[in-house]
Amino acid sequence: MNEQDYTERTYAGVLGKIVGVYLGRPVEGWAYADIVERFGRLTHYVNDQLGIPVVTADDDISGTFAFSRAVLDHARTGPLTARQVGETWLNYIVEDRTILWWGGRGRSTEHTAYLNLKNGVPAPGSGSARRNGRTLPVQVGAQIFVDGFAMMSPGDPDRAAAHARAAASVSHDGVAVDAAAFIAAMEALAYIEPDLHALIETGRAQVADPVLQHIIDDVLAWCAPGADWREVRERIEKTYGYSVFDGPCPATTNNAAVLAALLLGGDSFHRAVSIAASAGWDTDSNAGVVGALNGIRLGLGALDAEADLRSPVADRLLVVTADGGECMSDAVQQTRAIAAGRRLLDGLPPAPREARFAFELPGSVQGFTPCLDVGSPYTRVAVANVRPRPGGPAGPDASGLVITCAGVTESVAAAVSTPVFLPRADGGDNFSTIASPTLYPGQRVRLTARLALGTSHAAPTLRPYVLIETDARMEATFGPELLLADEPRELVWEVPEVGANPILRFGVAVTSMGRFDGDVVLERVDWSGAPVRHARSGVLMTSIWDLTPEPLRAWVNSAKNFEADFRYSYSVSHPEGTGLATIGTRDWDDYTFTSTLVFNPHERGGLVVRARGHRRYYAAVFESWQRISLVRRDHDREAILASAPFAYTEDVPYRVTVSCHRDRLTVRIDDAEVLTASDTAENAHSSGGAGFLVTTGTVLADGFEVGSLAGPDR
């Protein structure tokens, strides 16, 4: 398999996963009879009929793309272990808020496993039947999170199954782990084998449980050519339905539903996900698994062959974790992350870094859609890709986003934009959505654009812009103009300060002195590293009844109480153990982070830098009123890099700066250097966000400032 084929099939698998989840999500938890009465068979998204967004937070998506980070986070070229995946859970999950169904110990399989991990029981013990009883460990959650691991092992079903078992056993045992290995083996082989029956036979070689073997045999027999999917669904209900097994959501029932949808859908991507989403049971999980497998097996062409399920999604997805800057994502970026994991497992060097938005995959738009907050309603604008969807006309040998404009003038703009943070109204419904923006004032945006071949000779210009929300309306801040021509031209814009509220969208607007009808190609858009300078200061609270004003939404907190303070900017408080509040993205590498800290009673408190999740970071930690230490936290391991006596006092402000530049870390207090260290260990942290830390107590923080230490060409 060549690299391009692997990448495109992985992209199709990621798209298939999110399309299936979004199709089935609105009816998750509905009785089958209610689905039939309201919708018949779900052939397209029904979100508009129910008043909910298509793209929203979901455990199937967040868990799939967060937990597979275990491969990269542990930099493993050998077999992945359950213990490592369990550590990944603890790093990215914010208790009671992200990824999981928090249904309580003894009821929710994943919640129970998380509490075991938190209390010092490593995986696989955390998910074992010996600890959790016979019912909880055999629910559906194991098979819904393994797609990322499978896509890192193309053509290698044994490696995919081994990694799926490691991941599944964090929370599950028995038949549920077999079901996860069954799915992962099929997905891995689907890269090189399109025959569904061959995939099933390979997958079932991973199954030891006799009940699951019987399910596979029965569903194969029931899904003979010409079988009606509703009749097959009734046979599954009678023989393997929820009433047959214990627990709220048995893996066995849902594995039968997945297998039936695959067989009855045949080589129609649309029919298969439609059946999975319409049959009841765990609709979003089952349709997501079916979509991922068939995306890999059938390729991008199958996603575009029937109903258009891609355009409403526009590649967008949310990965809601403690690594807040990774929440706002898209199918292209997740494809790159999976491909990076595959290269690591195969012992290959990392691929060259792509621009944040390079539009390199067929049909990809990476969240860009027409934007009426800036564009005029009196012009027409559409987005597509230079590399079209399969079956479309051939484009030039370059990637890019095509912005098709009609009726553009000096005062009538065409605009497109992509989200870099969530508006408050898009916070989701069933699953908590916490995130940090991906773009900040002080960051340098680089973009390259041109006119498409054959475009009219009008001289349009392109201007980048960002949007924030102020007083319930969108407010745009524009960058400089770029005069477009046939050859690519580059523009660099340092985003200015735009007020206290976070940036919500980044976009480009096209205008022209004379009427312009034609195509503009946005070849790439990029920013990386920490802002040149980004600061917030002052009291954020406007009312004693509003402890979470808009600027606080840019932070992700595992500290139980992270609130605006009536005297300082932030109050960070945690009743027991360690909690964090962080901001920024994982590509912030060389920078300084400064804040004025005021200590209330606590065990430890301070600043963190290069945080990727809330258990992997560096921290300048004040301890017990008498010492300051510079530490590296790596999951449950903490190394002291430097330490010194330092007496500090309650309610006295201390201006603290932590600098990280390459392998050198420095701590300054009130402009005096107190600690410095060099970290060249194999598990040193190279980049990540910044923020505050507190252990059992409260730390107050008055403002913050981030400043890049990278060169001017970043």
Q: Are 214 and 286 in the same domain?
A: yes
C-beta neighbour count of 638 within 10 angstroms: 13
Q: Please, what is the Cα angle at 270 between 265 and 275, to 5 degrees?
A: 55
Rounded Cα–Cα distance for residues 52 and 363 (Å) = 25
Percent of the chain at pLDDT > 70 equals 96
Residue at 417 is within a domain: yes
Q: Are 435 and 297 in the same domain?
A: no
Q: Is the pLDDT of residue 693 over 70?
A: yes
Residue 53: give the domain boundaries: 16-318
Residues 6+ apart with CB under 8 A from 294: 16, 262, 265, 269, 272, 273, 302
C-beta neighbour count of 248 within 10 angstroms: 15
Report which of 388, 381, 340, 382 is spatially closest to residue 364, judged by C-alpha positions. Answer: 388
Q: What is the pLDDT of residue 166?
A: 98
Q: Mean pLDDT across the chain, nearest whole number?
A: 95
Residue at 584: amino acid letter: G
Query: What's the predicted TM-score (pTM) here?
Result: 0.96
End-to-end Cα, the chain, rounded Å: 35
Average pLDDT score over residue span 659-677: 98
- Residues pairing with 417 in the sheet: 369, 507
Q: Is the pLDDT of residue 155 over 90?
A: yes
Q: Are 625 and 680 in the same domain?
A: yes
What is the DSSP secondary-structure string of 357-404?
A: B---STT--TT-EE-TTTS-TTSEEEEEESSPPTTS----SS--EEEE
Report which of 571, 552, 578 is spatially closest to residue 694, judged by C-alpha positions. Answer: 578
Cα–Cα distance list, 265 to 221, 224, 485, 527 (Å): 15, 12, 47, 42
Rounded Cα–Cα distance for residues 24 and 285 (Å) = 8
What is the DSSP secondary-structure string of 232-291?
A: HHHHHHHHHSGGGSSSSSBHHHHHHHHHHHHHHHTT-HHHHHHHHHHS-SSHHHHHHHHH
Residue at 619 is within a domain: yes
Residue at 662 is within a domain: yes
Report which of 67, 52, 56 is spatially closest to residue 21, judged by C-alpha positions. Answer: 56
- State CA 476 to chain mean position distance: 26
Residue at 648 is within a domain: yes
144 in Cβ contact with 64 (< 8 Å): yes
Rounded Cα–Cα distance for residues 255 and 584 (Å) = 39
Q: How many CA atoms lie within 13 A of 13 on its CB side?
A: 33
Residue at 419 is within a domain: yes
Q: Please, what is the Cα angle at 511 between 510 and 513, to 5 degrees?
A: 155
Q: What is the pLDDT of residue 202?
A: 98
Q: Are 311 and 279 in the same domain?
A: yes
DSSP 8-state symbol, 59:
H
Give the domain-ending residue among 482, 501, 526: 526
Residue at 612 is within a domain: yes
Q: Is 285 left (phi over 0), alpha (psi -120 to 50) or beta?
A: alpha
Tens of pLDDT, residue by residue over 117-137, are 999 999 999 999 999 999 999
Q: What is the pLDDT of residue 427?
A: 44
Give the domain-ending residue among 482, 509, 526: 526
611 three-state secondary structure: strand
Cα–Cα distance list, 651 to 471, 626, 705 (Å): 35, 15, 21
CATH, residue 463: 2.60.120
Q: Are 471 and 586 in the same domain?
A: no
Higher pLDDT, 610 or 713: 610
Give the domain-ending residue among 506, 526, 546: 526
Average pLDDT score over residue span 175-184: 98
Rounded Cα–Cα distance for residues 84 and 126 (Å) = 12
21 three-state secondary structure: helix
Residue at 338 is within a domain: no
Q: Are 539 and 665 in the same domain?
A: yes
What are the residue ranges of helices labelled H in 437-580?
A: none
Q: What is the pLDDT of residue 456?
A: 65
Rounded Cα–Cα distance for residues 488 and 450 (Å) = 5
Tens of pLDDT, residue by residue over 553-569, are 999 999 999 999 989 99
Higher pLDDT, 410 or 713: 410
Sign of the torsion formed by the C-alpha atoms of 390, 392, 395 and 400: negative
Q: How many CA atoms lie within 13 A of 124 on its CB side?
A: 19
How many domains is the chain built from? Answer: 3
414 three-state secondary structure: strand
Tokens 């994502």 map to which residue? 329
Q: What is the pLDDT of residue 545?
A: 74
Token pair recorded at residue 539: 């009291």
384 in Cβ contact with 519 (< 8 Å): no
Q: What is the pLDDT of residue 549?
A: 85
Q: Please, what is the Cα angle at 422 between 140 and 461, to 5 degrees?
A: 130
Q: Which helix (H) or strand (E) holds 12?
A: helix 3-24
User: β-strand 561-564 against 654-661: which pairing, if any?
Assistant: unpaired
Lowest pLDDT segment from 63-72, 73-82, 189-198, 411-420: 73-82
Rounded Cα–Cα distance for residues 123 and 292 (Å) = 26
Rounded Cα–Cα distance for residues 166 and 696 (Å) = 33
- Helical pair 210-222 and 251-265, crossing angle rounded to 10 deg: 30
402 in Cβ contact with 385 (< 8 Å): yes
Binding-site residue positions for Mg(2+):
59-60, 282, 284-285
Q: Are 107 and 232 in the same domain?
A: yes
Rounded Cα–Cα distance for residues 547 and 563 (Å) = 5
Burial of residue 131 (number of CB atoms within 10 Å: 0-12, 13-18, 19+)? middle
Cα–Cα distance list, 510 to 479, 524, 674 (Å): 12, 16, 52
Binding-site residue positions:
59-60, 282, 284-285
Q: Are 582 and 449 in the same domain?
A: no
Q: What is the pLDDT of residue 187?
A: 98
Q: Is the pLDDT of residue 459 over 90?
A: no
Largest CA distance in the chain: 79
User: β-strand 414-419 against 473-478: which pairing, if any?
Assistant: unpaired
Report which of 258, 294, 293 is spatially closest to residue 276, judged by C-alpha positions. Answer: 258
Q: Is the pLDDT of residue 680 over 90?
A: yes
Higher pLDDT, 294 or 389: 294
Q: Is the pLDDT of residue 394 over 50?
A: no
Residue at 434 is within a domain: yes
Residue at 307: amino acid letter: A
Q: What is the pLDDT of residue 714?
A: 62
Rounded Cα–Cα distance for residues 327 and 324 (Å) = 5
Q: Are 304 and 391 in the same domain?
A: no
Q: Is the pLDDT of residue 429 over 60?
A: no
CATH, residue 37: 1.10.4080.10
Cα–Cα distance list, 38 to 31, 32, 34 (Å): 11, 10, 6
Q: Is the pLDDT of residue 430 over 80?
A: no
Q: What is the pLDDT of residue 424?
A: 79
Q: Are 563 and 492 in the same domain?
A: no
392 in Cβ contact with 410 (< 8 Å): no
Where are the extended beta strands (E) located within 5-68? Answer: none
Token pair recorded at residue 301: 């062409």
Q: Are 279 and 392 in the same domain?
A: no
Residues 6+ apart with CB under 8 A from 521: 386, 400, 401, 402, 403, 449, 450, 451, 452
Q: What is the pLDDT of residue 544?
A: 72
Q: Are 503 and 575 in the same domain?
A: no
99 in Cβ contact with 61 (< 8 Å): no
Tens of pLDDT, residue by residue over 350-360, are 999 999 999 99
Q: Is the pLDDT of residue 428 over 60?
A: no
Burial of residue 353 (number of CB atoms within 10 Å: 0-12, 13-18, 19+)? exposed
CATH, residue 663: 2.60.120.560
**CA gyration radius for the chain?**
26
315 in Cβ contact with 334 (< 8 Å): no
